Amino acid sequence: MNSNQEILDDFGRLLVKEVYDDQLRFINNDINDLKQTKQFENLFYNLNEQGFNELKLYTKEILSGSLFNFLRVFEENEQFKLYFEENEQKVNLVKISEMLKAEPAIENGWIERFSKELNNEK
């Protein structure tokens, strides 16, 4: 079985790819493309570059906060479990992390290390 750190990193990599990056990818489109999206035409039509950059930052904060709150559910409610299982061995992710809810957003956390969308912006 992998080490606790490897298990946490694998989970973090998957969570960032499938949740954070998947949603951030939408707002990282070119503003001119977003202006053509019928359901959001009023939102993006008069939005300048500065406003668009603020919207991107706001979106990142919302996504990061959502991951924090999702993981907090498992930390603060013992009846809900989050396990990694391999070869009939289970590891409780809450137990192997100092603070699972903070893993995505801390300095050098999952988002910083694993986000392809965030790294594409740099």
Instruction: Please check whether residue 59 lies inside any domain of the structure.
Output: yes
Spatial distance between the Cα atoms of 40 and 92, rounded to a whole number of angstroms: 41
Question: Would you state the torsion angle of the CA atoms of residues 76, 78, 84, 87, taken in this order, to the nearest 10 degrees?
Answer: 170
**Domain count for the chain:** 1
Instruction: Please check whether residue 85 lies inside any domain of the structure.
Output: yes
Above 80 in pLDDT, residue 47?
Answer: yes
Instruction: Please check whether residue 109 lies inside any domain of the structure.
Output: yes
What average pLDDT does the chain have?
Answer: 92
Q: What is the pLDDT of residue 41?
A: 77
Spatial distance between the Cα atoms of 107 and 113, rounded to a whole number of angstroms: 9
Q: What is the pLDDT of residue 78?
A: 94
What b/e sequence results for 30-50 when a residue is b if at least 16 CB atoms lie within 10 Å of its CB, and e otherwise?
A: ebeebeeeeeeeeebeebeee
Query: What pTM value is reported for the model?
Result: 0.88
- Asked if residues 72 and 101 have their Cβ atoms less than 8 Å apart, the reply is yes
Instruction: Please check whether residue 102 lies inside any domain of the structure.
Output: yes
